[in-house]
A and B are shown apart, each in its own frame.
Chain A
């Protein structure tokens, strides 16, 4: 039951971090294997939260094991973006897909840091500790991600007016 209910959702969360669907599926399978092998685990209070945390940790471990990121921020090329002037306003699902595609198109480290910040609600310090990078690098990667997304989606931002903005 838990498997069928959460598998797809967990895969979608993990693929945002790893960037690989195949890896995401393998890691989520591992999460359920771990759970299966440890029946003494008490996940009754909040299984969704437990599984999400376990899957994120799997993804972070995978990143640490498979990605050798430098401490020093090296300039990374921005992904290939369409000409801003050709970006047409998008609506609803199309806009959502566009944002999703833009996130997926971010450079690997940039995407991982941004996803951990936005989807997993981790602080700069938590991300830095998890990925073994500096908080300055985290900061830089997030701003880089935002700049890239803004550039890519500049023609669509006007449609997001429903969101309440209140500053300082």
Chain B
């Protein structure tokens, strides 16, 4: 085997594309000479390092945005909420009718909202459904529509009397699991923005300091800040923070939702087909998982996990554990996309 052939095999090995015959061929060739093993290690280091380098070029986003914005027409703002509207958001100012402050599309949304200093909006008469967590622990509340709220200590959640909406006013921090009911949007009113949800789970956290933060795990949210006259579509894995006084909304990617109130969920796999296991992980963590070796789908997996839904760091750890079990290789493409390569059903 000449150098070129060997290097070609080595590259295929790095990419997980070697067949058994080639694998043996390469293994034998490397075993013949320690110097070859050393060189192979050098190539592997280079291979790994080459995928992690970042360009030092910093494109001028402001200038690019100025150029881009000159060439586009403003997106018309709907006068009423459009539950299934899927319009890309480009941070355009728009009218700020309350009904379109936050629009949720999709069946399941997980959202984190951090609000400081929530004031009563006086929007609608209050009902007798009022919950205040005076305990030092997170308190689970069953709401009238079947939704659940997990209130952090000190949080106050009050239902507003509104026939067409499941409307609540929040002061404090809470996590919601909302039942799907497109006819009756689930809305949480805060000082800076309203959260309108159709079948979702989301966090709402309130702290002193004067800011609003919305984070989405699955589905989508439209946030409108009245004071700015700006809207933002927020997608899974992103958060938007608004500091009163600022003239912009700050969007950021997030690896996980830190303010999840420590809510955990137990998942028990008992001789469960891997296909089903991965589907569960996909659902709970809002990620995409590609299983390259289709033969692995029917492998049976057993394991008990205590997870924090949406915590993608934990997701990666789970996938790594599964890969170790079956000798698979985990490729992390980005925060949302994972690829599982190779593997053998065993155990």
Contact = CB atoms under 8 A, between A and B. Distances in A.
A32 interface: yes
A33 B204 CA distance: 34
Interface in A100-132: 100, 103, 114, 117-119, 121, 123-124
A44 B40 contact: no
Contacts of B12: 124, 139
Contacts of A119: 51
Contact of B336 (A15, A49, A160): A49
Contact of A39 (B7, B87, B220): B87
B207 interface: no
A121 B331 contact: yes
B24 to A, nearest CB: 9
Given A99-B50, A103-B50, A4 B4 contact: no
A1 B249 contact: yes
Given A39-B86, A47-B235, A96 B334 contact: no
Contacts of A124: 12, 15, 17
Range of interface residues on chain A?
35 or more
Contacts of A165: 41, 44-45
B319 to A, nearest CB: 16
A52 B288 CA distance: 15
Interface in B20-50: 23, 26-27, 30, 37, 40-50
Interface stretch (B65-73, B178-186, B305-313): B65-73
Contacts of B333: 49, 121
Interface string A139-163: 1101100110110010001001101
A47 B48 CA distance: 26
A77 interface: no
Interface of B: 4, 7-8, 11-13, 15, 17, 23, 26-27, 30, 37, 40-59, 61, 64-65, 67-68, 71-72, 75, 85-91, 105-106, 218-220, 232-233, 235-238, 240, 249, 251-253, 286, 288, 331, 333-337, 339
Interface of A: 1-5, 7-8, 11-12, 15-16, 21, 24-25, 28-29, 32-33, 35-36, 39-49, 52, 95-97, 99-100, 103, 114, 117-119, 121, 123-124, 139-140, 142-143, 146-147, 149-150, 153, 157, 160-161, 163, 165, 167-168
Given A3-B61, A16-B55, 12 more contacts: A1-B251, A4-B91, A35-B88, A39-B86, A43-B88, A44-B236, A46-B235, A49-B337, A97-B56, A139-B11, A157-B45, A163-B49
